[in-house]
Amino acid sequence: MAKSPLVSVIMPAYNAEKFIQTAIESVCTQTFKDWELIVVDDGSIDRTFEIAQQIANRDHRIVVYKNPHSIGLPSAPRNYGVRVAKGRFITFLDCDDFWLPNKLEDQLPFFDFEDTAIVFSNYEKVDDSGTFRGRLVIAPKLTTYRSLLLGNIIGNLTGIYDSQKVGKVTIMDIHHEDYVMWLSILKKGFVARNTNTVAAAYRISENSVTA
C-alpha cells in the first residue's frame, strides 16, 4: 500500500490473567507496526486489568479500559472498542487467542482490491498450553454474501475490515455475533479474501464453549 494505515485491534477481556499477556504480546510482535490495541476489561476479578495495564505502560500504542461490573456479552466491550478506535482498519483478537507475527502485514495489501472490505486468514487450533498440533482450519480463498450464508468460514480472530469502505459496524447482542457482523458487511456488495496463510492460533481450553 502507498502509505501505512492505522489498524485498530479490539481485545475484550474477562478473567484472563492466564493468557492475556501472550495475546497482547502477539500484537506487539507484529511485523506491521502501525497499530493501536484497545483492551476492554469486562469487570474482571483477577489480575487481567493489572497485567494489561503493566504492558500498556511500556507501549503507548496500547490503551486499557475497564468496566466496573461485568456485562457478560463480548459484543459490549467490542462495540466500545470500535467506538473509540482511531484506525481505518478494525480487527479483533480474544484474550485467550494469539496471532502469528506476519498476520497484519500479510492481510493489508489485499485491501487494494476495490471490491474487498474484509480480509481473513487460516488459523490453527491449539490446546490450553498453546501447543501447535497441526489442527489447521483452512477456508476458501474468497467468499461473498451469498456463499457466507451457507456457513461462517471467517475466523473472528483473523478477520479485519476496512471502515473507510463500510463504516464502523455495530456488533449485535446475540450469539454468533461475529458471523452476523461479517454478513452485514458483505451484504453491501463487497467480498472477503483469504490470504491463504496461517495467521493465528485459536486456543481451546478444557472449560471453553468450543471444547
pLDDT, tens digit, 9 for 90 and up, residues 178-197 = 999 999 999 999 999 999 99
pTM summary value:
0.93
Q: 99 pairs with which residues across the strands?
A: 200
- Residue 2's pLDDT is 47
Nearest CA to 205 out of 28, 29, 22 is that of 22
Strand, coil or helix: 147: helix
For 132-152, write each residue's pLDDT tens digit.
Answer: 888 999 999 999 999 999 999
DSSP state of 16: -
Residue 73 has pLDDT above 80, yes or no: no
